[in-house]
Amino acid sequence: MGIFDFLKSRRSKADQAQPAQDVMPNLAFGPFPDVAMPTEAEAEELQALLRGRLEKEQVRALLLRTRIRLALSPSDDQIVRGIVTATDGKLTAEDARLVYRFVTGISGPLYAGGDGLSRAAAVVIQAPSNIAGVRAEYDWLEAQFGERDEAWTLRSQHVAQDKRGFYDVFVIELSDGTERTIYFDIGAFFGRP
């Protein structure tokens, strides 16, 4: 026994050999717990929608990359451009928008309801997932008030509930110093991954 043998694993070499594909999902998802690994069925469905322009492994990687980008909250246009770039131009911008709609589940209007100034007039976010819903809230705020941290800053945010449902309540401060409370009806996506 050598002086450093105690540092060696007691597992056999066969036990130690773990394929990289088994380890990678855990590494990729550590910082993104809400990001789901693409399923075989999803990869097949998207590959069919893209009419086979990408191999199945390329589709799986694209799905994963797009979900992670969504979790990082870049703009929709950045995500679409990123999809085109990630496929080395094999997909057009229209194909990339198809991938975006497939991943987010967003195909119709995202907003309904009122101006958000009260629970009764809450902005209804019609998103299919938590990631898409939270993105939609910030996108709506920026469309109404301008760029975050320039035209407005977030003072607080909390979830509220009443007999009608769940609300995400944002208190923001505008650049002129006025404070606004904005209500989002989050019933469509609250509690979903």
pLDDT, tens only, 15-35: 444 444 444 444 444 554 556
Instruction: Please give the pLDDT value at position 3.
Output: 56
Highest mean pLDDT, choosing among 12-21, 30-39, 102-111, 169-178:
169-178
Instruction: Please give the pLDDT value at position 15.
Output: 46
pLDDT band at 140 (very low <50, low <70, confident <90, very high): very high
DSSP element (H, E) containing 69: helix 56-72
pLDDT for 62-107, tens place per residue?
988 888 887 776 677 888 899 999 999 899 998 888 888 888 777 6
DSSP element (H, E) containing 143: helix 130-145
Distance CA 177, CA 102 (A): 40
Task: Check residue 148 and report its DSSP letter.
Answer: B
Domains of the chain, by residue range, sit at 34-104, 111-185
Q: Which three-class secondary structure state does DSSP give residue 167? A: strand
Neighbours of 6 (CB within 10 A): 8
Q: Is the pTM of this model over 0.75?
A: no
Higher pLDDT, 80 or 12: 80
DSSP string, 22-63: HHHHHHHHTT-TTPPPPPHHHHHHHHHHTTTSS-HHHHHHHH
